Amino acid sequence: MLVHGGCAHAEGERLHPELSPDKDGWAPSMDPRLSVTNGGKTTLAKNLQKHLPNCSVISQDDFFKPESEIETDKNGFLQYDVLEALNMEKMMSAISCWMENPRHSLVSTDRGGAEETPILIVEGFLLFNYKPLDTIWSRSYFLTIPYDECKRRRSTRVYEPPDPPGYFDGHVWPMYLKHRQEMESITWEVVYLDGTKSEEDLFSQVYEDLIQELAKSVGK
């Protein structure tokens, strides 16, 4: 998950050096899906949005291409867990639109009205593998869960189209391992989160971290 200042990305998140709090606000980023599939990134993003003022969420899952445009491999598996299955240009356009006109609101303080810093959370499973996103974020998070737990959670979800037999082991998990290996070239800090923790524990960990980063940014 990524957060940016305001923008968060749920795989990961980091501070963009050219975004000043006075001009553009704070940019956290967080993405819990590269993070792994069914790792809890969407739930975490929604929980953060409920508790952070001026917080918007963009989900990578909303930018999948139609099934007719998804390629299949030699086993007949639809290749959904690759960047080519997503309209990333459209997602980048949505992020750019938000950055050009982020949501602001006034809150009451002891000294009168004050403008809250806008925050954007971008959550998805392939955010760290899309280079145009590299320079946008203030903080980056990556949710991880072990193979057995990931497979169990996947089996409880209903997809359209539904997963065919063998799809998890034949496509989903191998693609996760491939994309995770690609992350070794990342040069900025990524906070790795244990996706087996409770929703409450994950929320508290990330929320406190973001509040600390926001305080640092505002104080500069």
CA distances, 1 to each of 22, 34, 73, 124, 157 (Å): 24, 8, 28, 7, 21
Torsion of CA 185, 145, 130, 10, to 10 degrees: -120
User: Known catalytic residue: 209?
Assistant: no
CA distances, 20 to each of 17, 25, 97, 214, 217 (Å): 8, 6, 18, 12, 8
Catalytic-role residue among 24, 31, 61, 209: 61
State the catalytic residues.
Answer: 61
